[in-house]
Amino acid sequence: MAKNNLTYSGMRSLYFALVHSHLNYCPSILNCISTQNKGKIFKIQKKAIRILSNSAYNAHTLPLFDRHKILPFDKILRQGMLHFMHSVNFEYAPKSFRNVWIKNGERNADRTLRNDDDFHLPIPRLEFFKKIPIYSLPHLWSTAGKLRFYDNKITFRRALREHLFEEIQSESNDNNQR
């Protein structure tokens, strides 16, 4: 077994090679899978993080994710989707994505609105539509708060990562208080 023979850095490298690389692949599309399938994938990730940290099979994983500075599956999805929308918003995405979403200011050029810089969201008729990238990506971007104002790609990535780990810490603290 690898966990008995490898050092921590070897186990971490193995985790990133065998598990994390698959979780990071195409998060915009992975977000479309069912909640049940997301749960199955997250369970596999939690099992891997427990093996990495040499914890008990039923150890709480939020502190482990925080300690090892590894994002849980739902945060990986959000991170990838927000990276993509940052590239769309600041126009360094491929040209094929240039006119997929339009901003409210472009739709209503004759009026000044407080949400001129937000992307226009179509009104969903079905709940499933909210998972599709055409809706979920601009919706996630519009709820990103202060992160949307980082125009530099590197500072945005750092700020987003810090924000996601702060969420993990607050979730972990909430679970400890219960």
Instruction: Give me the residue spans of the domains in the chain.
Output: 2-177
Quote the tokens at residue 148. 């949307």
* 141 three-class SS: helix
- DSSP letter for 119, please: B
User: Please, how many CA atoms are within 13 Å of residue 173, restricted to the half-sphere of its CB?
Assistant: 6
Q: What does the alpha-carbon distance between residue 178 and residue 163 come to, in Å, rounded to a whole number?
A: 23
Model confidence over 14-72: pLDDT tens digits? 999 999 999 999 898 888 899 999 999 999 999 999 999 999 999 999 999 999 999 99
Is residue 161 predicted with pLDDT exceeding 90?
yes
